[in-house]
Amino acid sequence: MMQQPPLIDPFARAVTYLRVSVTDRCDFRCVYCMAENMTFLPKKDLLTLEELDRLCSAFIGLGVRKLRITGGEPLVRRDILTFFRAMGRHLDSGALDELTVTTNGSQLEKHAAALWEAGVRRVNVSLDTLDPDKFARVTRWGRLDQVRRGIEAAQAAGLRVKINTVALKGVNEDELFDLVDWCAAQDMDLTFIEVMPMGDLGNDYRVDQYWSVRDVRARLEDRFTTVDLAERTGGPARYVRLAETGQKIGFITPLSHNFCESCNRVRVTCTGELYMCLGQEDRADLRAPLRAHPGDDGALIGAIRTAIAAKPKGHDFDYSRQRADGQVSRHMSHTGG
């Protein structure tokens, strides 16, 4: 692959991490991510697997070293393992350092071994509760036992599993230590994420859901000794190690602590929209140059560079005034979880 000059945004941040949504569809309807009755995009609007390959390969040629595949639920897309196998060539060449996936875990029992064979070594599984009834309420359509089997299959295949838990007031506050203990017993890292003001669920609803990860950490420190880690995995999480268990705990705090100063990532939706910031509405259309020039990526690369030149300094998410300030209208499932 011809290596191009790297992508540098206006604030001298190198863009080396790309998150790509391959579908807006999901077999769950998590209350903070999607409405229960969603209208999904027509197939013609989605990038084909071949177009996703071209797009991701263009970014890799521009210096992206980490590629995370998201959705919706990425593993419900038909023939998606074909795309993972295609991206494996960039791992083999050394152009790409890591290929990862964020999943709800529902399809891991079926696909874990194939993901390993394609070059995936780590998966993030979104899991907010260990209570089956509560899990059914949070996900609306999900079954906890299916997800737990998927996690077991992933570990059996050799994949390193990290659990992502959205901190939800009145939902999983009482499970904080249960989640920590369970992840420690399963040798899994755990990251807590603040709920973000995205979608059309309304400001009051978001504020009612919001449980500050600062408070999560403070409660953990009532029981454990936390040791700050300099480690970064390419994303926004900040990590500590629990001295008593040795496990790693991450915190993603877009509301209580803005992490934008070190942002190295951008997101592409399943329709080819490039969002330079998760918390802003500015976007660039990459599908048009992809489809207008099927045999030449020059226009696509130009569109990418133009977009990165407009990457903002940060987002405006804020709950401090008891409103979901900085709210964006699109659902998280559209941008990519």
Can you name the residues that pair with 102 across neighbouring β-strands?
124
* Residue 204: count of CB within 10 angstroms of its CB: 11
Is-cis flag, bond preceding 337, omega within 30? no
Q: Which residues are annotated as a binding site for S-adenosyl-L-methionine?
A: 32, 72, 126, 196
276 vs 182: CA distance, rounded Å: 36
**Which of 222, 212, 152 has the alpha carbon at shortest distance from 180?**
222
Three-state secondary structure string covering the chain: CCCCCCCECCCCCECCEEEEECCCCCCCCCCCCCCCCCCCCCHHHCCCHHHHHHHHHHHHHCCCCEEEEECCCHHHCCCHHHHHHHHHHHHHHCCCCEEEEEECCCCHHHHHHHHHHHCCCEEEEECCCCCHHHHHHHHCCCCHHHHHHHHHHHHHHCCEEEEEEEEECCCCHHHHHHHHHHHHHCCCEEEEEECCCECCCCHHHHHHHECCHHHHHHHHHHHCCEEECCCCCCCCCEEEEECCCCCEEEEECCCCCCCHHHCCEEEECCCCEEECCCCCCCEEECHHHHHHCCCCCHHHHHHHHHHHCCCCCCCCCECCCCCCECCECCCHHHHCC
**Which of 236, 241, 300, 243 has the alpha carbon at shortest distance from 268?**
300
Q: Which residues are annotated as a binding site for [4Fe-4S] cluster?
A: 26, 30, 33, 260, 263, 277
Q: Which residues are annotated as a binding site for GTP?
A: 19, 68, 102, 162, 265-267
* Residue 312: count of CB within 10 angstroms of its CB: 16
Q: Which residues are annotated as a binding site?
A: 19, 26, 30, 32-33, 68, 72, 102, 126, 162, 196, 260, 263, 265-267, 277
